[in-house]
Structure 1
């Protein structure tokens, strides 16, 4: 218990914090700065340049914004914990972190769903693209991408908050699926609700995305070289991000189910993937693989180089 009867949970995910405190601090601080800078660059480039004001790039900017919010939920608290003698979090704050972690994670999947539909219409029904992917359609996709996961996760968190706690030790270094292990027992209806939510915001969207890209590649296979080039240039980055997202979802589930079996070192490494890989991987993929974004990044770097050269001459 903390002050005023607040329930405090002990976070045990980091190994030998006292010994490796400054290694952890530098590692996560550098990561956080890189994540902020890389995603902010993607968002600013898309915001500034009018030729990037297209549905595909708007969804990429939304994905980068999502990543910024996702990282802000995890890293600042993690850095404070590393500098503290005890890694602790209040139960209410843990539920809030849990809500944003999974809500924003599910929003990533929903945004990737919107991207796959955008690519499907662009490649398979090009004559209908302008009317189908209108500003209203894009706005609806963006709203649903955040609203649906938030609604489903809010119900989950409210139900969880009513459950009896039997343990104050949380195996991770932030609040994720491992939180189920602190409860005396989970009621059947909560388990069913979690499975329904998982199906709605993860399993079904991912299956639909794979089906969409299957249709796209079938069209590309039957078409000439220009269409195939367009598919590779615009769909490959989305597929890479999707595969990474799916893998990390599976990793998170595995860590939650096998906490008692996994060695602590392996558990730490696997958990790190969920907060390190995608936030850095996404902007790098889109910055390198999307030619229009890559072109603006190179132009920005050239301008900065010229300014530095002029400053040195003066």
Structure 2
């Protein structure tokens, strides 16, 4: 018989119980990882903002894409670093809901931004004469707002619905809060039907965005086959987007697999799979765009060269 613990004020993150023996090493590695994520993302964002030559739709979308990566990771890393130093691994009820909101909205926004970037590349390659009229500043601002606000609003509705549930446990078997894990603690599964409906709506939207991306690049590839110039443009500007899409897709599939079938895996593997989405994409995305997009790469390298030269002159 379940005991009703509907007035939950905090949760125990029991996923930490498996990593206590390696606390110092994991804390150092996690801190290093977070610092590197902040460094590479901020470097790319600042480079795009400060360089007026990159105030173009494609670079603006890349900039907001990396901002969204920081938005998602900032809700995870400071909390997990603090938890690693604490003897009891807890999170407040409200803090857990906020973290779940940020996790869901950040992941959904990533796909929205990838869809916006695929549309930008479709217009640039398939309709180059209309590019500047279609991808105006107002249209780009609209795409950015839609890409971020829509997932946030849908995720917020889901979290509000979750907050009304009566919970029968305070233990989340994970390193961080995810709405799926909170809903599983509900005393009465029948009350979670509305949550499931909203979640399915979000899944349908994400599937639509994914197929829209595929549709866009089918047209882009078809156009590039007949033009050497377009093929060069595709390799230069579309490959980074497709690489980010591949990383995103693999990370999400691993996370879904872990949520649905992770009970058959060891706790350590479950934890590794759970956090890979918060490690690999935030690191790889700015590196991919920084190295592959010529303007960003040349600008960053020129800044590094200038600083090295300045330091050498200072020493001598």
Alignment partner for residue 159 of structure 2, among 157, 160, 172? Answer: 157
Any conservation in 2 of the 1:17–1:82 contact (CA below 8 Å)? no
Structure 1 residues 43 and 33 mapped into 2: Cα distance closer, same or farther (>3 Å)? Answer: same
Q: Equivalences for 1:1-314 in 2 at 5 Å?
A: 7-14=9-16, 16-176=18-178, 177-184=180-187, 185=189, 187-200=192-205, 202-223=206-227, 225-313=228-316
Aligned residues: 307
User: How far has the Cα of 1:15 moved from its partner?
Assistant: 5.1
Q: Deviations over 1:26-54 (max 9, x none)?
A: 01100111111111110111011111010
User: How far has the Cα of 1:7 moved from its partner?
Assistant: 2.1
Q: Distance in 1 between matches of 2:125 and 2:286?
A: 24
Structure 1 residues 246 and 273 mapped into 2: Cα distance closer, same or farther (>3 Å)? Answer: same
Q: Distance in 2 between matches of 1:180 and 1:277?
A: 27
When the two structures are superposed, what TM-score results if normalisation uses the length of structure 1?
0.94
Any conservation in 1 of the 2:162–2:182 contact (CA below 8 Å)? no
Q: Distance in 1 between matches of 2:304 and 2:207?
A: 40
Q: Deviations over 1:130-161 (max 9, x none)?
A: 10000110010011111111111111001111
Any conservation in 2 of the 1:103–1:149 contact (CA below 8 Å)? yes
When the two structures are superposed, what TM-score results if normalisation uses the length of structure 2?
0.94
Any conservation in 2 of the 1:34–1:280 contact (CA below 8 Å)? yes
Q: Distance in 1 between matches of 2:218 and 2:16?
A: 41
Q: Distance in 2 between matches of 1:220 and 1:17?
A: 50
Unaligned runs of 5+ in 2: 1-6
Any conservation in 1 of the 2:12–2:171 contact (CA below 8 Å)? yes
Any conservation in 2 of the 1:165–1:183 contact (CA below 8 Å)? yes
SS in 1 for 2:204: helix
User: How far has the Cα of 1:18 moved from its partner?
Assistant: 3.1
User: How far has the Cα of 1:68 moved from its partner?
Assistant: 1.3
